[in-house]
Structure 1
Amino acid sequence: MQSAQCSGRTLRFGFFEVDLRASELRKHGIRIKVQEQPFHILTLLLERSGDIVTREELRQKLWPAHTFVDFDRSLNKAMTKLRAALADSPESPRYIETLHRRGYRFLAPITPIREDPAESHANFNHAALERAAASLENDQSQDHPKTGFLLSHPRPPATWTWFSLLLGTSTVLVCLTALFLLRVNHSIALGSSFGNLNPRRSVAVLGFRNLSGDSQEAWLSTALSDWLTTELSAGEQLRTIPSESVARMKIELSLPNVDSLGAASLSRIRKNLGTDLVVVGSYAILGEQSHGQIRLDLQLQDTQSGETVDAISETGTESRLFDLVSRAGEHLRDKLGIRAVTREEAAALAVALPSNTEAARLYSEGLAKLRVFDALAAHDLLLKSVAKESNYALSHAALATAWGQLGYDENAKAEAKKAFDLSANLSRAERLLVEGRYRETAREWGKAIEIYRALSEFFPD
């Protein structure tokens, strides 16, 4: 970007505005909290929009000479905080592209805002009035110098009026006919591709509020949400919304974990995720006297009608957490008219979850960090998780994602390979996703395309 573009006080890109003088980032006019170093990185990237800003340049700007700091770790941490503020993904960036071992590049178009909006609006109105007055005086003096009246536009002959009407009517009929034929052909094409496509009902598990307020128990929200999503997906009778999509939606809509949602919030979620149903609720640790029992309260809500379809309360222990989730899932299935999980599906579900409670906690905490683009913290937690339980495929898959976001491609490839080797007993959808990720990291693009094509064919809805 030309330096002149940064001479304005405020720059706009996407839904964001950056006030360079006040050092503020705003989204839809609302201030977004950003720490000093992430904001400085954003400023440097905006100044060089479209160009590569190297890691060395960032080091020189952010950490003066003789400053002793773990530069790589500090820069990665600042960058993940900036991406979290922008709700940007390193893997599918809208704003900041990572160039492995080189640096970063700002991608989005930037519009400078050079004036205060109120002042600009006033100036525009004043200038517009002056131009209109001058134009009016000019027209009056030329068309009717004596009377000062404006001449009306001459009316077309009657024959031209009828011709225009017939032409317009014919054009509309042709367009409607073409649209009808296009829709018929489109329906035939869909029918030949997918047969009688009958979309499954969709459900999104949005997370659960931690009533205990103890941060040590916050991981349970991620664990309970992911495990319930896995349980409901068994048998492929429901279309479950991926947890990553739910996390993105919650960032975009600034939606916290809540016990229940109103009709307006449900409508916004439906538009964002395209889901028919949502599951929300809360959990509480019942205290030492209850021997570590957990109470899980759920509500199943319809995003179209805004009604609560069902309310469930289940109690279990942390050591048998999946039993608690299974009972809740069984209740939801019964309410939705979905058949129960078979013995074979139950066995597959057990394999799809960590068997070690500490590994499950670390894995869930790592996923939560990944979903807010804090790859550095996620990496540390997931390393500990795979150390606790080395044969859990999805921990390796998540660690591969963290390595990739940090720019360590070979490490990402190695972890993705481990996940693929351990994925035989996962569900069909998870197995294909794990293999697709591995083929990508190995740059086996043809095989990756085949995997993702198979996913779309198995699940066309």
Structure 2
Amino acid sequence: MLLVLLEQPGQIVTREELRNRLWDEKTFVEFDNNLRVAAAKLREALRDDAASPQFIETIARRGYRFIGDASPIFDTPALSPAEPLPPVARNLQIVPSSQIALEATPPRRGRRRLLLALCGVALPLATALFYIWRQRQPLIHSHDSVAIGGFLNRSGNHNYDDVLSLPFRIKMEESPYLRLVSRDSFAHLLKNADASLAEEMQACRQSNAHALLTGELTSHGQGYELEIDAWRCSNGRRLGTESVKTDSQAGILDALGQASEKMRLRLGESEESLQKFSVPLVQATTSSVAALNAFRLGEEKHATGLYTESQTFYKLAIDFDPQFALAYLQLGRSYSNAGESSLSRIYAQKAFDLRERTTDREKLYISSAYYSFYTGEVHRAIEVYQLWMSLYPRDIVPVNNLAVEYNILGQPQKAVPYARKAIELDPSILLPYSVLAEADLRSGNYTELNRLCSDPAHANDNAVAFHVVCYKSAFVQNNEAVMQHQAQFVQGAAQQSAMLNEIAAVSFYRGRQAEADRGFNTARQNAIANNLPEFAAEIIVEQAGLDADAGHPTQAAQLAEEALHYAPHNIEVEAGAALALARIGQIPRAEAISRKVTAESPLDTQLQFVELPSVNAAIAMQHNQPDEAIKALEPARPYDQVVVMGLSPAYYRGLAYLQGRHWQQASAEFRSVLDHRAASPNSPYILLSQLELGHTLQLSGNSQEAAAQFQQLEEVWKNADADFPPMKLLHLYEHL
């Protein structure tokens, strides 16, 4: 094409002429599209820009012309317009050297003509080979990160305004080859859903990505054309373009899928990988434009933490397409983030039932959510995350969530490397820092934790969980100023109730129960005001458990029933209420609740191996059957530091051994709680274990060490309420 244009520099070469010169009459191709693609590739090779050309100018509806400087090197006649260019790539034959006849050296003019003839063959051949070579070269290196920008609608059909960005991203996320900037971090950098290309390019540079992918939908006759462009973030140059046309609106998603797959190949993904990880977009998302639009609005709300508002749009998307698996998944996720676990389970189950209508990556996402939130099979969830990580080694989600699961299980030493890997994959995402901070806290790695909490980069971190961890760290290190500073960070946040709950727990830890009661009530009211009734119930049931073990049975019973009223279908709340009621001797009620949650969640890891065994042990101790209690708690040993229990399983096991007069075993269990205090540093069960350890040492004849334990408790409870039951029990033990 370049040679044809150079024959007539500055003159228009019509489309028809280019067609005749580039393809013979026996070639059957879509000429207009192929000509446009050829022009785009030529511009790419020349580093030209169609919007402000320096070499190749498009003349609308007519053709192209070369507008750069061109000087002839040889004075040779041009090919006749009727004569096609030599079909070198198709007709060139290699002649064996044995068939070449030796000739005498031709005269000078003959050599010149021979040279010109060879140049006439070699130049287009070299051009063709260079073009083929360029087409086969990846636009980026395998280690380069890629940002996904928006997909503009310039078709005039407003039904597609802001709709195609989501399926475009899903199709690119389907690739295990691409190293993509996370959607949340990129959206955070943009700060504007209607960002321009220049703003997207700036965000791309800020995220240290190499390339930016954008898309555009335009009208084409009676149909549409979908174009995907790759841009180099450093200088804004176009790296490559892929496009697909469709004759109707019904084919838009299919065309988008085809264009996305072509671009994935151009970026360096292999054909084998593309064949393995390729699901039609209509199957992976929805064929309903209205459902896609509602889903998009839900995602926008969810990304800004407006979980309740996002639920309205996810539900609307489901109304438009009841088979929209991703809408169910995100609706369940929004309920989970809002602390509404029972509703989260319902929608996780529905998404799981429809998972075959998604991409492989989304199947993994749905399956992991199903095992985490619906069945509670933590180890199955971990297996899915490990598979996900092996298939998509550049995806941050499974790596970060593995760290989360290990933190939940009370295994922070396993969580730390995954959290660090997640940060390495994308340092711009804030969540992995919260996960790493929690793992450092539970590991007792306060040096590294202090570095994280004091890092100016996190000064404006909006994640309440991060500041809660830093608050606990400051508490362990007895730094009241930092505790107050971290508490102030989250004032006004939708999840502020999480911080208020931890502050109340510290008051209880210090024996100031009246202050703790007010604090728990404030946390509960804050959760309710922010439309988090299930989290409010979790706060209430935690307080009920502490009152039951601290010696306030009447209040414990009232709080347990109140929690069940707020969240009658939340198994964590039900299990917590059953345990509180069993500890105060309301055995029939505790047993009824226990049977209910066992039937509802027979596979839940924490429920079946920790929470219900604790209930059964409490009931056995009420019946003065310590051996049965010890037996009931044996399955909980691997989960003694599980987050939800706050170190209580080993405490209960110690009480059972104490009831059975096994002093040595009881001491070992209470010491285990003290040795692992970092796992839950403001848990009142640390001090309750220390209290009973002192009592056990007394009974075993070790009065000196018992006195040392009691002295430490006196220091912690020096400002405790006079009627704080554990304090009164301490004074009783001291006078035995």
What is the TM-score of this pair, normalised by structure 1? Answer: 0.46
Higher relative contact order (CA 8 A, sep 6+): 1
Higher Cα radius of gyration: 2
User: Which has the larger helix fraction?
Assistant: 2
Between Structure 1 and Structure 2, the one with more strand by share is: 1
